[in-house]
């Protein structure tokens, strides 16, 4: 694609962009095959812009849960057209989804955290395991500033669940850093951000935040435990195992059989990766 006109960006942020490019170059060269998991949020659009234009050796994928807002789906298509790239979409196992709906209801996740985690397990965590099965590294748009659950994250860490290196390249970026980059580089973004949605997930699980609320207050807004507002994609191995055995077992017995088979395949591949 043709280079887009770039406006001036604050000098102190230029150093962050330079460091980010250096890290992405290192990942592309030394951690292949590597993949970036994009949810098409503001942070992810910063990474996507750089990867699509300068680091094409890094794969870009997304988790299409089947419950995404139309604004996210529109941005997904617009992004692929704009950058002339293909973003691989991983979807949940149809049988697992149907069994969950049959046992818990289409929107059963409103009834308890266990049911919500069960839905996240089916629609997000299991598809992610498939996406990362043959990778050496994956990248996220996580930032420490986003939530208390992310305050102690490192720029890179070993992901024990998937047996590979996990990079959080924007870990020390601020919200202003992100939006300064988006404006300066004319990066497309989700229009929900203009309507009070700083964090965007599945449509029924996301609302606009109220003045003074935490940026992630709109995620799973019916739950009172603000310190646990994670879907499970970025939790430790022990938490992952707990969700896999408790949340789904209770509400989707057939679904867990389907997912267990996929996880077994992932574990076998991960064991081979560790041996190598």
Listed as own residue / partner, the contacts of 101-110 with beta carbons closer than 8 Å and 24 or more positions apart are 103/251, 103/252, 103/253, 104/251, 104/252, 107/204, 108/251, 109/204, 109/205, 110/222
The first and second tokens of residue 260, run together, are: 């267990």
**2-6, 10-14, 49-53: least confident range:** 2-6
What residues are labeled active site? Answer: 231
pTM over 0.85, yes/no: no
For 132, other C-beta atoms within 10 Å of its C-beta total 25
In SS3 terms, the chain reads as: CCCCCCCCCCHHHHHHHHHHHHHHHHHHHHCCCEEEECCCCHHHHHHHHHHHHHCCCCEEEEECCCCCCHHHHHHHHHHHHHHCCCCEEECCCHHHHHHHHHHHCCCHHHCCHHHHHHHHHHHHHHHHHHHHCCCCEEECCCCHHHCHHHCCCCCEEEECCCCEEEECCCCCCCHHHHHHHHHHCCCCCCHHHHHCCCCCCCHHHECCCCCCCCCCCCECCCCCCHHHCCCCCCCCHHHHHHHHHHHHHHHCHHHHHHHHHHHHHHHHHHHHHHHC
60 Rama class: left (phi>0) / alpha (psi -120 to 50) / beta: beta
**33-42, 134-143, 202-211, 266-275: least confident range:** 266-275
**207 or 248, which is more confident:** 207
Q: What is the mean pLDDT of residues 205-215?
A: 91
Q: Is the pLDDT of residue 249 over 70?
A: no
When the pLDDT of each residue in the chain is averaged and rounded to a whole number, the result is 85
pLDDT band at residue 234 using 50, 70 and 90 as cut-offs: low
Q: Is the peptide bond before 175 cis (omega within 30 degrees of 0)?
A: no
For residue 45, which of 145, 173, 190 has the smallest C-alpha distance? Answer: 190
- HSE at residue 149, side-chain half, CA atoms within 13 A, is 18
């Amino acid at each position: 694609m043709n280079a887009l006109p770039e406006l001036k960006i604050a000098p102190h942020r230029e150093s962050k962009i330079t460091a980010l490019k250096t890290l992405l170059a290192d990942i592309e060269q030394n951690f292949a095959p590597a993949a970036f998991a994009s949810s098409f949020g503001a942070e992810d659009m910063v990474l996507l812009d750089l990867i699509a234009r300068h680091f094409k050796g890094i794969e870009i994928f997304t988790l299409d849960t089947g419950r995404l807002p139309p604004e996210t789906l529109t941005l997904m298509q617009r992004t692929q057209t704009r950058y002339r790239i293909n973003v691989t979409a991983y979807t949940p196992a149809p049988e697992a989804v149907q069994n969950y709906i049959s046992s818990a209801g289409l929107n059963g996740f409103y009834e308890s955290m266990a049911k919500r985690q069960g839905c996240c397990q089916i629609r997000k965590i299991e598809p992610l395991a498939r996406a990362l099965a043959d990778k050496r590294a994956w990248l996220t748009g996580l930032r420490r500033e986003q939530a208390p659950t992310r305050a102690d994250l490192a720029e890179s860490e070993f992901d024990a669940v998937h047996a590979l290196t996990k990079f959080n390249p924007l870990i020390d970026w601020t919200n202003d850093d992100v939006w300064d980059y988006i404006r300066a580089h004319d990066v497309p973004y989700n229009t929900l951000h203009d309507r009070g949605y700083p964090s965007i997930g599945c449509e029924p699980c996301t609302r606009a935040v109220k003045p003074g609320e935490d940026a992630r207050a709109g995620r799973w807004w019916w739950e009172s435990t603000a310190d646990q507002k994670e879907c499970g994609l970025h939790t430790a191995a022990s938490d992952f195992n707990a969700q896999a055995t408790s949340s789904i077992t209770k509400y989707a017995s057939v679904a867990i059989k389907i997912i267990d088979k996929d996880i077994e395949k992932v574990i076998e591949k991960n064991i081979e990766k560790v041996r190598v």
